[in-house]
Amino acid sequence: MPELPEVETVVRSLRRHLPRGGRRARLERAELRFPGMLKFGKQYWPRLDGCEITDVGRAGKYIWIACRSPAGPRGAPATVWRLLLHLGMSGQLTIEPAAAALAAHTHAIFHLAGARQLRFRDPRRFGRIGVVPAAADSGGAANRHAGAMDAGSIPAALSPEEERQLGIPPGGEPLEIGEAEFVKLFRGRQAPIKNALMNQRLLRGLGNIYADESLFRAGIAPRAHDLSAPRLRRLRLAIRQVLEEAIRAGGSSISDYVDSGGKRGWFQFQHRVYGREGQPCPQCGAPIRRITLAGRSAHFCPHCQT
């Protein structure tokens, strides 16, 4: 499953094609080819036709797109929608020329002005889509009139209310969480630290790959628990370092993942433990081990991680 670096890479590549801030792109028509992908907001889906896309962002492993519908008759206010997409296990979100051949398993097409399309392809169908009114619209007509008329008033990030509506886990963002908050969040926990890191209600965006790589750099075994404050501070820095390096490398393309331009990532060539069972540790030469924790694999060096 794409993790934070892959989703962030997709968002950044979308921003090169779709607007942010003052620049806008027109969404002429939203075409749903597999209705099962739309998990909520079916009643709002037709309202996306003719919208302007005003922003693209990420919350954990989720991608959101802000869309502003045209103002209605007699001065009725425009409405702002949040379009949410989760890539699941095999999802791809790419910008294609409208004339390009349609790949198999393309389940949603967002027809853009300029003969372009934003296509959502997902062979395994674990991805999902949802649509809700933006927070400025959720309180009724007064809020809509006050907050949704111009793109400058559209919040640049999802509100807690919107995240609850969209079903996004409430965990902290690894690239934003402060040292004291991180230590407080994980100090004294008896669960293996690998499991805790992958709990999206605590810290969202990490999965197998980046939890393994972060623990290795911090010198912490995946089974370790009740970690001291100094070890947790070291782990927080390792997580940030790994994620930032992975984003710069365009993420890890192990199976289906590509960015919105169809480009594969390169960070898989920098993995130090993930997927390297039996291979020598890059630090000490000991064979990398693989164990199972709560049904998920964990890769680590038994010598360097304690």
Torsion of CA 109, 111, 112, 115, to 10 degrees: 110
Q: What is the pLDDT along the chain (306 residues), one digit of tens a residue?
A: 789 999 999 999 998 888 644 556 889 999 999 999 999 999 999 999 999 998 899 999 999 999 988 765 555 566 889 999 999 988 999 999 999 999 999 999 999 998 999 999 999 999 999 998 886 544 433 333 333 334 344 456 788 877 887 788 889 999 999 999 999 999 999 999 999 999 999 999 999 999 999 999 999 999 999 999 999 999 999 999 999 999 999 999 887 888 888 888 999 999 999 999 999 999 999 999 999 998 899 999 999 999
- Give me the half-sphere count of Cα atoms (radius 13 Å) on the Cβ side of residue 111: 12
Would you call 156 exposed, middle or buried from its count of C-beta atoms within 10 A (0-12, 13-18, 19+)? exposed
The pTM score is: 0.88
Domains, the chain, ranges and CATH? 4-166 (3.20.190.10), 179-300 (1.10.8.50)
At position 78, the amino acid (one-letter code) is: A
Q: Which residues are catalytic?
A: 2-3, 61, 296
Residues near 43 by Cβ (< 8 Å), separated by ≥ 6? none
